[in-house]
């Protein structure tokens, strides 16, 4: 697999990364720990060098799995994790907390769980309206100067926040949702990133599994699968949203590849400083995702995909209202 640099930084990673969240959190019950370790190690063997986790995934369990899985390969891979949430006495998520002292405590705990002495990329998971972003950037700058963190990132941050943070500590990457199904970042975010030389790490590049075609109108989500409360995954909205998937699947069949591979290849074709992080719990899906790096989309292919995407706008919000409120605009 080819490598890409995130923006103008010196952080060079595989052109397709691995989003580890779903192994422990979010998409139903956590998979067996050894299975999770095996999938992550298989990703390394397939050329993936960029792994994404966060303290809140579990909480905490995902970082532990990633730490164990990548310990034998630590010098070959880059690990990204995130801070920004508060936790109650039972370890459950309890709102946002990006106070500088909390950031430093969170980073120390992440270092231990990840079994490493340095975090390659440390993101603020969600912008905290109660803490000036300059204070957040300053706290991460301190961690970088102490050698505990190499690069600073933001997640789901708006243009003004990105600019203010970058003025204090250069931002290496922004992580936000982006796919053929959700193209809002193209309006203001991507031009800003290009101007400032910041890399882009699209999460949910497969539309939380929807663009693979595996989710049907009658799919039943486990109650621990957060898609069960996401408006765009309601049965009614799925009926409408299938239109995009059906046309995308037909396009993929004509190219003798899968819809998931087309969706990932489309992102890779957008900008050389974008690195999508699809996640999976299955080896055959990992191999399918990695295979997208070998797909060349022609200018005509890209025009067709733009047309497909524009004719089938997503119906339904991408988060329930409580989570939507945490997204910085």
Residue 130 belongs to domain with CATH number: 3.20.20.100
- Cα 255 to the chain's mean position, in Å? 27
Does some domain include residue 222?
Answer: no
Q: How is residue 178 annotated by DSSP?
A: -
178 is known as an active-site residue:
no
- Across the range 174-197, mean pLDDT stands at 97
The token pair that represents 150 in the structure block: 């190499």
Render pLDDT for 252-281 as a digit per residue (tens, 0 to 9): 999 999 999 999 999 999 999 999 999 999
Does some domain include residue 311?
Answer: no
Q: Name the active-site residue from 57, 73, 123, 319.
A: 57
Phi, psi angles (nearest 5°) of residue 11: -85, 105
For residue 329, pLDDT beyond 90: no
- Across the range 224-251, mean pLDDT stands at 95
- Using alpha carbons only, how large is the chain's radius of gyration in Å? 19
Render pLDDT for 17-72 as a digit per residue (tens, 0 to 9): 999 999 999 999 999 999 999 999 999 999 999 999 999 999 999 999 999 999 99
> Of all residues in the chain, what percent carry a pLDDT higher than 70?
100
Alpha helices in the chain (DSSP H): 33-45, 61-70, 100-113, 133-145, 159-168, 189-196, 235-255, 259-270, 283-291, 299-310, 321-324
Helix axes 283-291, 33-45, angle to 10 degrees: 30
Domain count, the chain: 1
Instruction: Name which of 103, 126, 106, 104 is nearest 114 in CA terms.
Output: 106
Render pLDDT for 275-303 as a digit per residue (tens, 0 to 9): 999 999 999 999 999 999 999 999 999 99
Is the peptide bond between 44 and the residue preceding it cis, with omega within 30 degrees of 0?
no
- Exposed, middle or buried by CB within 10 Å (0-12, 13-18, 19+), for 298? exposed
Does some domain include residue 247?
Answer: no
26: left (phi over 0), alpha (psi -120 to 50) or beta: left
CA angle 282, 14, 56 (to 5 degrees): 60
Does some domain include residue 302?
Answer: no
Cα–Cα distances in angstroms (integers) from residue 3 to residues 17, 18, 69, in the given order: 10, 14, 21
Please give the Cα distance from 236 to 214 (Å, whole number). Answer: 17
Q: By residue range, what is the domain housing residue 121?
A: 3-209+267-295
Does some domain include residue 98?
Answer: yes
Give the β-pairing of 171-177 and 199-203.
parallel
Q: How is residue 6 annotated by DSSP?
A: -
Phi, psi angles (nearest 5°) of residue 159: -60, -50
């Amino acid at each position: 697999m080819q490598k890409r640099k995130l923006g103008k930084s010196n952080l060079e990673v595989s052109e397709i990364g691995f989003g580890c969240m779903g192994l422990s959190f979010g998409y139903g019950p956590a998979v067996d720990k050894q299975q999770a370790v095996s999938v992550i190690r298989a990703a390394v063997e397939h050329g993936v060098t960029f792994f994404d986790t966060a303290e809140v995934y579990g909480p905490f369990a995902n970082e532990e799995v990633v730490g164990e899985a990548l310990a034998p390969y630590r010098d070959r891979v880059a690990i990204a994790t995130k801070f920004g949430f508060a936790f109650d006495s039972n370890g459950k998520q309890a709102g946002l907390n990006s106070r500088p002292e909390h950031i430093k405590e969170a980073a120390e705990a992440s270092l231990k769980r990840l079994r490493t002495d340095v975090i390659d990329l440390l993101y603020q998971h969600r912008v905290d309206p109660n803490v000036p972003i300059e204070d957040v950037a300053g706290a991460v700058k301190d961690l970088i100067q102490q050698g505990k963190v190499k690069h600073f990132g933001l997640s789901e941050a708006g243009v003004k926040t990105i600019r203010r943070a970058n003025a204090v500590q250069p931002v290496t990457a922004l992580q936000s949702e982006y796919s053929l199904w959700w193209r809002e970042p193209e309006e203001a975010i991507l031009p800003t990133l290009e101007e400032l030389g910041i890399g882009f790490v699209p999460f949910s590049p497969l539309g939380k599994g929807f663009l693979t075609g595996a989710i049907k109108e009658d799919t039943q989500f486990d109650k621990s699968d957060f898609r069960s409360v996401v408006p765009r995954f309601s049965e009614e909205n799925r009926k409408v949203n299938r239109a995009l998937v059906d046309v995308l699947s037909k396009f993929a069949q004509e190219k003798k590849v899968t819809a998931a591979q087309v969706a990932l290849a489309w992102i890779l074709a957008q900008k050389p400083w974008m690195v999508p992080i699809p996640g999976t719990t299955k080896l055959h899906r990992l191999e399918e995702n990695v295979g997208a790096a070998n797909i060349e989309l022609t200018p005509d292919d890209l025009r067709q995909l733009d047309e497909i995407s524009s004719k089938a706008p997503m119906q339904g919000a991408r988060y329930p209202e409580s989570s939507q409120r945490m997204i910085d605009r």
